[in-house]
Amino acid sequence: MQKVIPAILTNDAKKLQEQLQVLKDQSYWVHIDIMDGKFVPAVSINLAELRDANQLFNLEIHLMVKKPEKYLESCNTIGAKRVYFHLEGAKDPKAVLLAMEQYQFERGIAINPETTVEQLTPYVKNVDAVLLLSIVPGAQGNTFIPEVAEKILEIKGLNEKLLVGMDGGVGEGNIQDIFTKGADYIVAGSAVWKAKDPIVSLRELQEMIY
């Protein structure tokens, strides 16, 4: 079933908790961006700040970091359900995937807009999910790149069982087109948090799926 997953991107632990409370009882899943200031310029909250969040949500962790293997144990400690690392941020993607095997969370690879499906192909048999970034990563509110949606069908052709998500710049103007192209879910950040009422906006996006 296609779905909308709200995203939180912040370096403020208090704001994180406030936004988690807003989303309580509104979504089973929440997408958390973790940034190290190296892979992207911005720095986010620490994974440890999410230690109790798994009691309220299924946590999807998006590691926008260099050396993602160093974060896997922390992802496991906080009870993450799905973890993405960036193909572009890993020196040895196969080694990261191998390290992920010892944990129970779903394994995912995220790719930036300029990364091709061909570059992803060697790894698709060893992951549960692929996250397509449809903006230049590092901040909410960047411009949506529509060409990224064309990769969805290509990826499904490599492995039809793969969960494919789209992250970045998604809102009322393009959500239906993305789902029509075959995405399993979209990640909504700015479309939720920059709205006058985040919950109303989230519900409106969810209603556009059906």
Among residues 98, 81, 94, 67, the alpha carbon closest in space to that of 32 is found at: 81
The pLDDT score that the predictor gives to residue 143 is 82
Beta bridge partners of 107: 83
The pLDDT score that the predictor gives to residue 210 is 62
Q: Which residue has 């909504």 as its token pair? A: 188
pTM higher than the cut 0.75: yes
The pLDDT score that the predictor gives to residue 138 is 63
What CATH code is carried by the domain that includes residue 164? 3.20.20.70
Whether the predicted pLDDT of 72 surpasses 70 = yes
The pLDDT score that the predictor gives to residue 147 is 93
Residues 120 and 66: their CA atoms lie apart, in Å, by 18
Centroid of chain to Cα 188: 9
**Average pLDDT value over all residues in the chain:** 94
Among residues 204, 69, 198, the alpha carbon closest in space to that of 140 is found at: 198
Q: Which domain holds residue 84?
A: 3-207
The pLDDT score that the predictor gives to residue 38 is 93
Provide the number of structural domains found in the chain: 1
For residue 43, give both structure tokens: 């720095």
Taking only the tens place, the pLDDT of each residue in 105-120 is 999 999 999 999 999 9
**Identity of the residue numbered 17:** Q
Helix residue ranges, H only, 159-197? 175-180, 190-193
Q: Which one has a higher pLDDT value, 99 or 210?
A: 99
Among residues 69, 70, 74, the alpha carbon closest in space to that of 32 is found at: 74
For residue 146, give both structure tokens: 């529509």
The pLDDT score that the predictor gives to residue 82 is 98
Packing angle, helices 198-207 and 13-23, rounded to 10: 50
Taking only the tens place, the pLDDT of each residue in 147-199 is 999 999 999 999 989 999 999 999 899 999 999 999 999 999 999 999 999 99
Tell me the mean pLDDT in the region 3-17.
96
Report DSSP letters for 38-56, one per residue.
SSSS-B---GGGGTTGGGT
When pLDDT is cut at 50, 70 and 90, the band that residue 86 belongs to is: very high
Whether the predicted pLDDT of 141 surpasses 70 = no
Among residues 49, 47, 158, 20, the alpha carbon closest in space to that of 105 is found at: 47
For residue 29, give both structure tokens: 């899943």
Sign of the CA dihedral with 193 first, then 199, 200, and 205 last: positive
Whether the predicted pLDDT of 137 surpasses 90 = no
